[in-house]
């Protein structure tokens, strides 16, 4: 499995966590995850799937994969 992240076309935005007891603002940005997939029950060839998700400065790649699985495509396994 391969994932890549690209930088956003526009500048990052900020999320204010002041009222939630946070230490300040956390930058948010868009990333595109590209994952090579193989579904032997439907085709013999593998293919690339991609999703665009909003992430925050404190997130990791695993957070992005969880967001895709839980919110966008429940068939993703890793």
- Model confidence pTM above 0.95: no
Give dist(CA 72, CA 41) in Å, integer.
21
Cross-sheet strand order for the sheet of 25-37: 13-16, 25-37, 47-56
How many of the other CB atoms lie within 10 Å of CB of 55? 20
- The per-residue pLDDT for range 16-70, each reduced to its tens digit, is 555 555 567 889 999 999 999 998 898 899 999 999 999 999 999 999 999 999 9
- The per-residue pLDDT for range 36-51, each reduced to its tens digit, is 999 889 889 999 999 9
């Amino acid at each position: 499995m391969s994932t890549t992240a690209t930088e956003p076309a526009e500048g990052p935005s900020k999320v204010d966590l002041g009222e939630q007891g946070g230490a300040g603002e956390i930058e948010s940005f868009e990333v595109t995850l590209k994952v090579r997939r193989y579904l032997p029950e439907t085709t013999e060839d593998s293919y690339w799937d991609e999703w665009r998700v909003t992430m925050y400065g404190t997130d990791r790649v695993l957070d992005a994969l969880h967001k895709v699985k839980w919110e966008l495509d429940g068939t993703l396994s890793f």
